[in-house]
Structures are given as structure tokens and as C-alpha cells.
Chain A
Amino acid sequence: MSFDNAYESLLGHEDAHWAFGTGFSEALSGVNREFPADVDKDALAAYCLMLGDDALIFSQRLAEWCSRAPELEEDIALANIALDLLGQARMLLTRAGEVLGKSEDELAYLRDEREFRNVHLAEIDCGPGPGGDFGTTIARLLVFSSWRLALFSRLAPSPFWAGSADPVLAAIAEKGLKELAYHRDHAAQWTVRLGDGTDESHRRVQAGLERVWPFVDELFATHAVETRLPGVAVDPASVKSEVDGVLDAVLSAAGLTRPADTRAARVAGMAGRDGVHTEAMGYLLAEMQHLHRSLPGAVW
């Protein structure tokens, strides 16, 4: 048997079994996307950007670990988590884009730093380069996924919480809920393994917690956008005690110390939700956006 290229032998001459096509169509194709009556659409778009940018930017950070994690399984794990978050980001940016008249790609690749609405926790450099460490990445993943899971639990309709009045946001949250639970468990199990491991692993994950803790305060600060969306958005202040309880349970099982509450510096009281970012953000965007900006409309 001879094949012209390596893929042919895998495909058995039937391209229908190749999972990765060349064109990715838009993320909410065919979903019923009517807006609820009397919703503040501009605020809804801003809220979808906030949640979408958190996922997009953190996904980019996680993908940086691909081929550089301490073991092959963890390369795959962090890349898979990044992929789930990227999927959530695509749907959220598409929803925002319906109000703003922009595509998900335009929002991801053509906005400038000041237009991104992600929290600082998503953007800071936790490695694999000199700025961080695997222990720091696990600490960030634990905090980020515990927080996002608590928000999505309330945005998704359930017998316990009403869910978002925006049906698309509610459906995106319902879809992402189990993914986030799996991410949080993964981070929690690693935190215990490192915290309860060797002196060195304990030291490094504790240092990771100290590194990310100043960015925790921003996660629970109510923003004006959330206030403008009663019944549609979740007030992040309302999930603080639940997230605190989860983090305390993990840290206690891991034998780690909860860092003292401090708050990273802000510019005139503004942070990521207002488009004011840390120095790391510009470098991240340069890498994420340069291909699309150099070759507009490029597809693969």
C-alpha cells in the first residue's frame, strides 16, 4: 500500500473521518439567539466580554505550557483545559458580537489592550518561562476554576438557582459547568499532591498561592456592568463565601496556608474589568494576535 502523504493511511481514503476541518464556522450556529425583552443589551455585551475574555486569556496562558509541563500527561491536561475555555470564550464572544456587530475573531484578534475586560488573574505570567512555575499555575487554576464554577453554577438554570434571564448565557453556562468542575477537581487534586508532597513541591505551590493571592480580591468586586443586569448577571460578591469554603477545604487537605488578603495595585481604582491591565498583557496579546493582524483573514 502506498500513500502520497502521511494522513492518507490514517484516513483510509475517506476524509469524513478527519476531525479537524479547515474552516471553523461560528460558535453559535443555529442556536436561538433572541434577546430577552427589556435587557440592557450594551451591558449584556460587556458582561459576555468579561466572562469571554477571562476564558480566552487564561486559555492562552494555559496553552503556553504545552510541551513544557513536568510530565506528558500534564501537557495534555492543561491543553485540554485550555481547549474547553477557548470553546466557552468563542460562544461568549459570539454572543457579545451580536450586539456589537462584530465576529468572534474580530473581538479576539483586533481589539487593543484597553478593550479587553478580563480579570488580572487570567493574564499574569505564571510560567512556564522565568515569570513563574508549575506550582503557580496550579494555584491559579485552582482559584480561577473554583470562582468561575461558582459563577456558572448560578448562571445555569437548575432547581436551586433560576439561572441567567438571557437564554444564551444560561445555555453556555450549563454547557461549561461540568467542564469547570472537572478543571477545579484537577487543580484541587494537584494542590493536595504538591502541598502534601516533598518539601520542595510544598514550598513551590505555597509560593504560587502567595503570587496569585493579590489578584483574588478583584474576582469578587461587583462591577457596574453586573449591577446593570439584574437577573441576567451574577454579582461576584455573592459567590465569595462559597469559593472561600472550597479553597479552605483544598488548602487544609494540602497542608497549605491561606495567604493574607492583600490587593494588587490599581490605577485610579480601576483593574481588568475596566480595561486597565498589567504589563504582562501587552506581551500576551502581541503573541496571540500577531498572526491575524499580519495576515488578515488567514485560515487554517
Chain B
Amino acid sequence: MTTALEIASAVRDPELPVLTLADLGVLRDVSEADGRVVVTITPTYSGCPAIDEMGADLRRSLTSAGYSEVEVRLSLSPAWTTDWISDEGRSKLAAAGIAPPSRVGPSVAGPVPLNLVPPSRQVACPQCGSPNTSEISRFGSTACKALRRCNACAEPFEHVKEI
């Protein structure tokens, strides 16, 4: 029998199905004792509508693998940021034509600095690799994505925006 951790790690994100929950960094813990599995996940955004579906998918996968008792818990802290997306997850996003986020590191202590102009981040085009791209919209089809355009090949593409 495959371990509960392996099964939970393979469950896909409902909104970015190229990633598993483990790639996305929302799978925080899987513990197994006496046939009972407790999975802990964290939401990407406070209003993420996919969080219930993640829980349902985890329960479905584990139950069909023979685990009769499955509990899914939510954890809010430490809060998810795009830095939790694994290197493998970043490669999978790029391969699917979605520009992965750059790493932002820990936030500064104290008052959050104001950005009067969008931070100038080099986001390479996932189609042709050109670094010459610009933002079309700060918000995209899901909470975690922005929309960009490549100035070299003219293709629009999605970008998992850094938070």
C-alpha cells in the first residue's frame, strides 16, 4: 500500500492542475496512525474558493486508497507565500506556459513599504524566453495570477504573482 503522504502529495491543485498540492506548498503535514490519516493544508489566499475542493480531493484519494478515516485540517500560520512553491513546481508551471513567481524572501519588519509603481521584476516569457515582457493586469483568472504580455513574441501569458 502506498503511504498516505505519497497519496496526499500527488493530489492536484484544482485551479493550477499542473501542480500537486505538494508542489504548490499548501500541503503542510500528513500524519498516519492506526489507519487514521490527518492531513493539514493551508489556503493560498483568505478567500480561495478552491480550499474546500482540495479537502474533498484529499479525502477522495485517500479513501479510495483504503484509508477509511481521513481528517483534513486547515492551518493559517505560517501564512502561504509564493516562496512555498517548490523548484519542481516552478519548472512545471513554466512548462505549462505559466510564468512562475520569483523568490521574494522574508518580508521587512515594521510598516509594509508602499509601491507607487509596480516592482520591476524580470518575468521571462514562458513561450520564447524573452525578458522583455510587461504587465497587462495585476489580477488574473484566479487570485494567484496576473496577466502579462511578451513584447518580443507578442504572446499574452499568465504569471503566478509574488506575494
Q: Which residues of A contact B (CB under 8 A)?
A: 16-21, 23-25, 28-31, 73, 76-77, 80-81, 83-88, 90-91, 149-150, 153, 158-160, 167-168, 170-172, 174-179, 181-182, 184-186, 188-189, 192, 242, 246, 249-250, 253
Q: A18-B14, A83-B143 are in contact. Are A174 and B116 (CB under 8 A)?
A: no
Interface size class of B (residues with CB under 8 A): 35 or more
A5 to chain B, nearest CB (A): 19
Q: Which residues of B contact A (CB under 8 A)?
A: 12, 14-15, 17, 40, 43, 45-50, 52-53, 55-57, 60, 71-79, 81, 107, 109-112, 114-118, 136-141, 143, 147, 163
Contact in complex: A29, B53 (CB < 8 Å): no
Given contacts A30-B75, A88-B47, A179-B163, 6 further A-B contacts (CB under 8 A): A20-B49, A29-B73, A30-B74, A87-B43, A242-B111, A250-B116
A1 to chain B, nearest CB (A): 20
Q: A17-B14, A76-B139, A174-B76 are in contact. Are A30 and B117 (CB under 8 A)?
A: no
Contact in complex: A178, B163 (CB < 8 Å): yes
Residue numbers in A under 8 Å from B117 (CB-CB): 189
Contact in complex: B116, A192 (CB < 8 Å): yes
Residue numbers in A under 8 Å from B47 (CB-CB): 83-88, 90
Contact in complex: A19, B147 (CB < 8 Å): no
B47 to chain A, nearest CB (A): 3
Contact in complex: B112, A77 (CB < 8 Å): no
A226 to chain B, nearest CB (A): 20
Contact in complex: A179, B45 (CB < 8 Å): yes
